[in-house]
Amino acid sequence: MDIGNDTTPDGFILLGFSDHPRLERILFVAVSIFYMITLVGNITIIFLAHTDSHLHTPMYFFLTQLSFLDLCFTTSCTPQMLVNLWGPDKTISYLGCAAQLYIFLGLGAAECVLLLVMAFDRYVAVCRPLHYAVIMHPKLCQKLVFSVWMSGIFGTLVHSPTTMKIPFCHHHQVDDFVCEVPALIRLACGDTHINELQISVIGSIFLMIPLLLILVSYGHIAKAVFTIQSKEGRSKAFRTCSSHLMVVFLFYCSVTAVYIQPRSHFSQKGGKFLTLFYTVITPTLNPLIYTLRNKDVKGALKRLFGKDRMGREGLRA
């Protein structure tokens, strides 16, 4: 094996599951279906939140941001992944890989912070219900969303340039579907201690600290729920928070497993499936979780289809 390095390669080869062509065809069909559901589900939530006046609240304002993030996040890598799975061409240009990495990291960091913001919104709704409208006023919501996007830009500008400057081995074979940090670090033929230290620092800022704060907020929420006297009130509070908590669990578990130990044996062998999970499956599950477990969204869907049905009946009349 050529152990030389080239800091500015022309491109990379995304290996994926190239040694299992039958599995790749199965995954192509599965990823295509999940991607279509992701597009339909998240676009539907964004449309409903903007058109239905019942959903003009901070909670659904943040939910539309999550749906938009998920759309961008999965679109930044899924089309390339489908090309990779379908045919023999596994190549991606250096600039294409860099662009994918910048977008991938930026949106991932932004989602970590957005999930924290959504946890804060749920904390105020359950623990400070009488002051909710005063605290979560539109200007604060806009500032929080602005901080979400700025944190994503900060995260990717700090991490992506140093990753793309790694001394890569001449074979340029990335053992993954996408150009993400752990896979690129494994491709290095030089010292990567600085990059691994950077992953630890960035991981602490965008993964561990937000997750800790989310858990603390839900600890306070749990205490507040148990003090609610009525069964209906407790049930409503639980429904309000359970969907968000499920989304947090799905996203953080898979991302943390990949990024905490990028050179570990588990990360190398199981990382591809985890990559599929948080880039394809999680963005698909998020809108399903919020629609299937949320009476407000289901009500908005009924009102939407009810209007369409009445409109068609009016035209027939």
DSSP string, 175-241: SSSS--HHHHHHTBSS--HHHHHHHHHHHIIIIIHHHHHHHHHHHHHHHHHHH--SHHHHHHHHHHH
Q: Is this structure's pTM higher than 0.75?
A: yes
Q: Which residue has the higher pLDDT, 205 or 147?
A: 147
Quote the domain boundaries for residue 173: 5-298
Q: Cα dist. 146→123, 138, 139, 149, 209 in Å?
A: 20, 12, 10, 5, 19
Burial annotation 82-93 (CB, 10 A radius, 16+ → b, else e): bebbeeeebebe
Mean predicted lDDT score pLDDT of the chain? 84
Q: Is residue 245 included in any domain, yes or no?
A: yes
Q: What is the CATH number of the domain that holds 140?
A: 1.20.1070.10
What tokens appear for 175 in the block?
A: 């053992």
What tokens appear for 36 in the block?
A: 């279509």
Share of the chain above pLDDT 70, in %: 89
CA dihedral 200, 204, 208, 209 (to 10 degrees): 170
Give me the number of domains the chain comprises.
1
Distance CA 115, CA 112 (A): 5
Helix, strand or coil, per DSSP, at residue 11: strand
Q: Is residue 304 included in any domain, yes or no?
A: no
279-297, pLDDT tens digit by residue?
Answer: 898 999 888 888 766 777 8
Q: Is residue 303 included in any domain, yes or no?
A: no
Q: How confident is the model at residue 308 (pLDDT cuts 50, 70, 90)?
A: low
Q: How confident is the model at residue 2 (pLDDT cuts 50, 70, 90)?
A: very low
What integer is the mean pLDDT of 39-44?
93
Of 175, 255, 252, nearest to 218 by C-alpha is 252
Distance CA 217, CA 234 (A): 17
Question: What integer pLDDT is reported at residue 34 of this predicted model?
Answer: 94
Question: What integer pLDDT is reported at residue 269 of this predicted model?
Answer: 56
Q: Is residue 312 included in any domain, yes or no?
A: no
Question: What integer pLDDT is reported at residue 190 of this predicted model?
Answer: 78
Q: Is residue 314 included in any domain, yes or no?
A: no
Report whether 296 contacts 51 (CB < 8 A).
no
Residue 301 has pLDDT above 90, yes or no: no
Residue 5 has pLDDT above 90, yes or no: no
Question: What integer pLDDT is reported at residue 58 of this predicted model?
Answer: 93
Q: Is residue 307 included in any domain, yes or no?
A: no
Residue 224 has pLDDT above 90, yes or no: no
Question: What integer pLDDT is reported at residue 118 of this predicted model?
Answer: 94
231-256, pLDDT tens digit by residue?
Answer: 777 777 777 788 888 889 888 888 88
Q: Is residue 311 included in any domain, yes or no?
A: no
Q: Is residue 308 included in any domain, yes or no?
A: no
